[in-house]
């Protein structure tokens, strides 16, 4: 097959969607398919930042089109890339795979699908937002104007399937395929043993205060017993949350326990997973965070929130503790419990390693292959 992946950003840009697009492309290429990438020249959305120079070639062709900020909408929703439309209109391909609910690639791909017969698969990465009336109105418009043009719409979880159905997507066109992870990166991870020293809690993700629960996370550290030997390492790109963390940690007197690491290259990030004792992600809303799968693969017990697709990734009471969102007390209680009980950390970590196998790319890539093949065979 010839597969054209269409995405808002692409590595070395950081993010869960970016990692997934690259992994799917590599997995399909490894199985003998021809894969190309159409994306923008953006390194990040906030601040609006382009890659400074042409990037070295990768495993397959990557065409980066110039992006423009049309309107100052959040989450990159107001960014467009006109060159991407011409790319989709002229590139010979058997199937187009466009990414992300409401983003420019899906709007462009939907428009092209209406004038070209090439099958279109849209992977929404849809978390439902905050569920406000304004957001739901926008979501219904997206479903009607973009998702309705797709031959197949891919959801990662049962919750995402229900959310898409609720905004008007035909359930018969929705296919569920989970996010994936490269387990080989974690095969040589260390066996964790009880450590009488300081316990390290690790957060990995964009420092987005409205999404990732950074304020309740810092407040949770402040709510820990004063004699508890725990430090928090926060790894990720600043999306407006770094200043909040610095200010709040100083105000609450825990700046000595909170370390802002910033974004890291992959090898160093894997080192953070290997040296941590517990993983914490107190998100306010999420789709299906890849970092939770990575934490499971690294053998880390998890403290996270009962939002979005998270309960379909982790198992409460087996490999994770699920807290209500915006509840520093619950996060603090879970962190305290794991800090004081090394055996509990080991048991939860071992369960995570066993459970994450279902997200292996060796299992997930063949599902994408079958979906694309069926979309090509189906009458347009």
Please tell me whether residues 353 and 365 are part of one structural domain.
no
Residue span of the structural domain in which 371 resides: 2-180+360-377
The arithmetic mean of pLDDT across residues 160-182, rounded, is: 94
Instruction: Give the DSSP per-residue string, 217-260.
Output: HHHHHHTS-TT--EEEEEES-BSS-HHHHHHHHHHTT-TTTEEE
Please tell me whether residues 108 and 219 are part of one structural domain.
no
Cα angle 330-316-212, degrees, rounded to a multiple of 5? 55
The arithmetic mean of pLDDT across residues 259-286, rounded, is: 94
Distance CA 341, CA 230 (A): 13
Cβ neighbours for 199, distance < 8 A, ≥ 6 positions apart:
229, 230, 231, 277, 278, 338, 339
Sign of dihedral through CA atoms 343, 345, 351, 353?
negative
Name the strand (E) or helix (H) holding 256.
none
Indicate whether 87 pLDDT > 90. Answer: yes
Q: What percent of the chain has pLDDT over 70?
A: 94
Please tell me whether residues 155 and 6 are part of one structural domain.
yes
The arithmetic mean of pLDDT across residues 55-77, rounded, is: 80
Indicate whether 76 pLDDT > 80. Answer: no
Please tell me whether residues 224 and 367 are part of one structural domain.
no
Query: Rounded mean pLDDT of the chain?
Result: 91
Asked if residue 334 lies in contact with residue 323, where contact means CB atoms within 8 angstroms, the answer is: yes
Average the pLDDT over each of 52-66, 83-97, 207-221, 239-253 and give the range with the smallest value: 52-66
Cα angle 318-260-341, degrees, rounded to a multiple of 5? 30
Distance CA 8, CA 261 (A): 26
Please tell me whether residues 349 and 370 are part of one structural domain.
no
Please tell me whether residues 218 and 322 are part of one structural domain.
yes
With bands split at pLDDT 50, 70 and 90, how would you rate the model's confidence at 189?
Answer: low
Helices and strands, counts by H and E, the chain: 13, 17
Which CATH number do you get for residue 130?
Answer: 3.40.50.2000
Indicate whether 335 pLDDT > 60. Answer: yes
Q: What is the pLDDT of residue 55?
A: 83
Number of residues that this document lists for the chain: 380
Please tell me whether residues 134 and 243 are part of one structural domain.
no
> In terms of Cα–Cα distance, which of 157, 163, 188, 161 is closest to 174?
161
Please tell me whether residues 326 and 312 are part of one structural domain.
yes
Please tell me whether residues 152 and 133 are part of one structural domain.
yes
Q: What is the pLDDT of residue 112?
A: 96
Q: What is the pLDDT of residue 346?
A: 95
With bands split at pLDDT 50, 70 and 90, how would you rate the model's confidence at 70?
Answer: confident
Number of structural domains the chain divides into: 2
Please tell me whether residues 124 and 269 are part of one structural domain.
no
With bands split at pLDDT 50, 70 and 90, how would you rate the model's confidence at 378?
Answer: confident
Average the pLDDT over each of 75-84, 141-150, 326-335, 360-369 and give the range with the smallest value: 75-84
Name the strand (E) or helix (H) holding 48.
none
Please tell me whether residues 153 and 189 are part of one structural domain.
no
Please tell me whether residues 117 and 251 are part of one structural domain.
no
pLDDT digits (tens, 9 = 90+) for 101-160: 989 999 999 999 999 999 999 999 988 776 778 878 888 998 999 999 999 999 999 999
């Amino acid at each position: 097959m010839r597969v054209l992946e269409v995405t808002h950003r692409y590595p070395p840009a950081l993010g869960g969607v970016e990692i997934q697009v690259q992994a799917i492309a590599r997995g399909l290429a490894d199985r003998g398919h021809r894969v190309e990438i159409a994306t923008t020249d953006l390194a990040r959305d906030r601040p609006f930042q382009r890659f400074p120079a042409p990037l070295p070639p990768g495993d397959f062709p990557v065409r980066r089109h110039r992006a423009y900020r049309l309107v100052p909408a959040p989450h990159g929703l107001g960014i467009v890339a006109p060159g991407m439309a011409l790319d989709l209109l002229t590139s010979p391909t058997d199937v187009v795979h466009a990414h992300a609910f409401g983003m420019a690639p899906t709007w462009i791909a939907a428009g092209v699908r209406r004038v070209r017969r090439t099958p279109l698969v849209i992977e929404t990465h849809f978390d439902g937002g905050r569920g406000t009336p304004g957001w739901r109105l926008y979501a219904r418009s997206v479903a009607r104007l973009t998702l309705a043009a797709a031959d197949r719409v891919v959801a990662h979880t049962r919750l995402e399937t229900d959310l898409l159905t609720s905004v008007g997507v035909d359930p018969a066109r929705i296919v569920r395929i989970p996010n994936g992870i490269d387990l080989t990166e974690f095969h040589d991870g260390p066996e964790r043993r009880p450590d009488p020293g300081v316990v390290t809690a690790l957060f990995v993700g964009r420092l987005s205060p409205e999404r990732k629960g950074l304020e309740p996370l810092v407040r949770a550290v402040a709510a820990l017993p004063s004699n508890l030997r725990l430090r928090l390492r926060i790894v990720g790109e600043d999306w407006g949350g770094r200043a909040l963390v610095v200010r709040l940690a100083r105000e609450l007197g825990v700046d000595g326990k909170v370390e802002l690491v910033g974004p890291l290259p992959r090898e160093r990030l894997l080192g953070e997973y290997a040296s941590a004792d517990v993983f914490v992600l107190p998100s306010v809303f999420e789709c299906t965070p890849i970092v939770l799968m990575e934490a499971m693969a690294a053998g880390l017990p998890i403290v996270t929130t009962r939002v979005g697709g998270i309960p379909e990734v982790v198992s409460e009471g087996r490999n994770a503790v699920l807290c209500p969102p915006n509840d520093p007390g619950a996060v603090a209680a879970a962190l305290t419990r794991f800090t004081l009980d090394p055996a509990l950390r080991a048991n939860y970590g071992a369960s995570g390693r066993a459970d994450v196998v279902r997200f292996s790319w060796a299992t997930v890539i063949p599902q994408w292959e079958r979906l694309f093949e069926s979309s090509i065979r189906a009458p347009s």
